[in-house]
Amino acid sequence: MSEDRRAAASVIELQGVHKWYGQFHVLRDVNLQVQKGEKVVVCGPSGSGKSTMIRCINRLEEHQQGRIIVAGIELTSDLKNIEAIRREVGMVFQQFNLFPHLTVLENLTLAPIWVRKLPKKGAEETARYYLERVRIPDQADKYPGQLSGGQQQRVAIARSLCMKPEIMLFDEPTSALDPEMIKEVLDVMTGLAEEGMTMVCVTHEMGFARTVGDMMVFMDRGEIIERAPPKEFFANPKSERTKTFLSQILAH
Amino acid sequence: MADIAQDIPVAAQAPPPRTTGMLGWLKANLFDGVTSTILTVACAALLAIAIPPVVRWALLDAIWHAPNGQACRGAGACWAFIGEKFRFILFGFFPVAETWRPVVVVGIFLLMIAAACNRRMWGRRLGILWLVGLMVVFALMRGGFAGMSRVETAMWSGLPLTLILAVVGMLLGFPLGVLLALGRRSKLPAVRAICVGYIELIRGVPLITLLFMASLMLPLFLPAGVTVDKLVRAQVAFVMFAGAYLAEVVRGGLQAIPKGQTEAADALGLSYVQRTWLIVLPQALSLVIPPLVNTFIGIFKDTALVIIISLFDLLTTAQTALADVNWQGFYVEAYVFVGVIYWSFCFFMSRYSQLLEREFNRGKRR
């Protein structure tokens, strides 16, 4: 497929994106296309800008140069566009960020009711369906603080899904979890991937990347250094930096 | 050392003696060691010395009925003074024949407060109830219709005046404070500057100064012929003052909310107003209940300062009652009486806030 055709079919499109924090150049000429249904796994050493990049996609961070087009809408400072994009893009955070003053069910129905203007009953039905999907149907009336980390992260995934997003962004979803809880979250994510959700995941879970990813993106010092399908990426990385990184994380 | 492994479970045992029950409690709280025992005995002795004279003064030696102040002098308290001045202290210069009106007003306030304390009532209904309630309060105090004589605001005094100033001050000061706190954290420099300027200015001057400004200076700035009621001016000063103080308390709460909360709300597509109303404020406010109530209690008691612009709040009517030549010198009785009224309201606020705290902290309990 030619570069133009790819661009036309893509649901996320980053063109020459730059970002600075003060003097610090965090994103340097980042170009990325994600097509509908594609699973992109972003990896790289800490401080490489991978979280910043993914957070630019739903404008939690502002880019200063270049273009970002999501679901056919260009991200500008226009609030209408930003809110429209955020409705279609779900995000799962490293720290879960559930709303601690609301029950699990209220966490799930809040945005559908207030943003999508769904009736409460319908929103609750959807919420229960997704709680079932993430395998914690019996926790609906608890508060987030009463759940384990793994359960909280699955609630967070369900909360995003309740908005029926076209795209899901995962920002190191398992990094804050105890080892025995990582699998339950990855299982949910794998299930989601199998259903054809478009996903961009920042993660260090290379096993997940291998089985689920369509495309690996390696970032270092604010640049995309290498992109390749997982098989090729792990079998023969091209750049020295990728090789070093892979040897470091696969060593143990 | 791999052989340290225990397969036999340890059975549950009874706790050691004297750690539970009445004896256990006494030992842990009153007689836990030499220092504790000495302190307990010393406190008991102090109470034994202090309580009997108070009881004697307030109850045993007290005089409950007397025709005038002369007949009321003795070793104990003169509660006959309170009986004589009861109506005046509570309702001040409100026409005696119309006393039922301020009585009903106080009743309405108590009912509205009771309704507001019931969490099941929270919502639009409560707002309407309060709006209607305050309008009825105003109409009853003012009169001038349905056979009720017109009573100027200068005659509004005592407990109704204190309640009006305090309740309306909190009711309007609180939203003002929230807006100021949000404005102070705004991304827009102009909004931020205005809010910071307002808060620092109002907080930086004594309430007395504000009241003076409202009562003496403001009329000078108004065009000739335009007058604003003195009570309204005092009320505005109160709202402004309460707003500035509450703003800083609320800001403390806003700052304690992790950034992840607003990011999660943003990522779900919530607007600024939705995010603030549904996610940020509920958490921020429940965090700052203790300092909020502290400020509310302060505002309630600060209403006593309106004396300096000659409005007769509860404390001032008590002082005025003392000026009666027939009943002179019963300061302690008068101040104990109004003290108990102030204390009841403040203590109620304090207890209720603790209940609210427990309710709001449900989610944090494991």
Q: What is the CATH number of the domain that holds B188?
A: 1.10.3720.10
Q: Is A239 on the interface with B (CB under 8 A)?
A: no
pLDDT at B1 over 60: no
Point out the least confidently predicted range of A7-16, A66-75, A92-101, B16-25.
Answer: B16-25
Residue B329: Cβ within 10 Å count: 13
Cβ-nearest to A145 among B258, B274, B363: B363
Interface contact A111-B365, CB threshold 8 A: no
On whether residue B352 sits in a domain, the answer given is no
Point out the least confidently predicted range of A54-63, A135-144, B353-362.
Answer: B353-362
3-state secondary structure B77-139: CEHHHHHHHHHHHHHCCCCHHHCHHHHHHHHHHHHHHHHHHCHHHCCHHHHHHHHHHHHHHHH
pLDDT at B316 over 50: yes
Determine the average pLDDT of the residues in A32-51: 93
Cα separation, B238 vs B240, in Å, equals 5
Total residues belonging to chain B? 366
Interface contact B264-A93, CB threshold 8 A: yes
Cβ-nearest to B263 among A60, A87, A98: A60
On whether residue B162 sits in a domain, the answer given is no
Residues on chain B touching A98 (C-beta within 8 angstroms): 264
- Burial state string for A139-160 with b = 16 or more CB within 10 A and e = fewer than 16: bbebbbebbebbbbbbbbbbbb
pLDDT at B217 over 70: yes
CA distance A248 to chain B (A): 30
Question: Could you tell me the pLDDT band of residue B225, with boundaries at 50, 70 and 90?
Answer: confident
Q: What percent of chain A has pLDDT over 90?
A: 87
Determine the average pLDDT of the residues in A57-83: 92
On whether residue B37 sits in a domain, the answer given is no
Question: Could you tell me the pLDDT band of residue B18, with boundaries at 50, 70 and 90?
Answer: low
Pairwise pLDDT comparison (B14 vs B344), residue with the higher score: B344
- B63 bridge partner residues: B78
On whether residue B288 sits in a domain, the answer given is yes
Among chain B residues, the shortest Cα distance to A61 is held by B263
The first and second tokens of residue A149, run together, are 């980390």
On whether residue B23 sits in a domain, the answer given is no
The first and second tokens of residue A137, run together, are 């149907």
* Residues in Cβ contact with A168 at an 8 Å cutoff, skipping those fewer than 6 apart: A89, A90, A91, A92, A157, A160, A161, A192, A197, A198, A199, A200
- The pLDDT score that the predictor gives to residue B285 is 92
Percent helix, strand and coil across chain B, each rounded to 5? 75, 0, 25
- The pLDDT score that the predictor gives to residue B5 is 67
Q: Is A168 on the interface with B (CB under 8 A)?
A: no
The first and second tokens of residue A210, run together, are 């291998």
> How many structural domains is chain B composed of?
1
Question: Quick one: CA dihedral A143, A149, A151, A154, positive or negative?
Answer: positive
pLDDT at B119 over 50: yes
On whether residue B42 sits in a domain, the answer given is no
On whether residue B173 sits in a domain, the answer given is yes
Tell how far CA B239 is from the center of its chain.
Answer: 14
Q: Is A110 on the interface with B (CB under 8 A)?
A: yes
Cβ-nearest to A83 among B271, B365, B366: B271
Cβ–Cβ under 8 Å, residues B105 and B160: yes
Pairwise pLDDT comparison (B16 vs B81), residue with the higher score: B81
pLDDT at B41 over 50: yes
Cβ-nearest to B260 among A93, A115, A143: A93
Q: What percent of chain B has pLDDT over 90?
A: 48
Interface test with A, best of B262, B268, B356 (most A CBs within 10 A): B268
Tell how far CA B106 is from the center of its chain.
Answer: 15
For residue A38, the 8-state DSSP code is: -
- The pLDDT score that the predictor gives to residue A1 is 45
Residue ranges making up the domain that contains B213: 169-311
| pTM exceeds 0.90 | no
Point out the least confidently predicted range of A178-192, B164-178, B352-366.
Answer: B352-366
Interface contact B366-A146, CB threshold 8 A: yes
Q: Is the ipTM of this complex over 0.85?
A: yes
Cα separation, A249 vs B21, in Å, equals 58
On whether residue B95 sits in a domain, the answer given is no
Interface test with B, best of A52, A106, A108, A114 (most B CBs within 10 A): A114
Cα separation, A12 vs A168, in Å, equals 11
Question: Could you tell me the pLDDT band of residue B366, with boundaries at 50, 70 and 90?
Answer: very low
Interface contact B268-A160, CB threshold 8 A: yes
Determine the average pLDDT of the residues in B295-302: 92
Nearest to B331 by CA among B342, B312, B318, B343: B318
A197-212 pLDDT per residue, tens: 999 999 989 999 999 9
Determine the average pLDDT of the residues in B61-87: 84
- The pLDDT score that the predictor gives to residue B6 is 67
Residue B3, SS3 per DSSP: coil
pLDDT at B111 over 50: yes
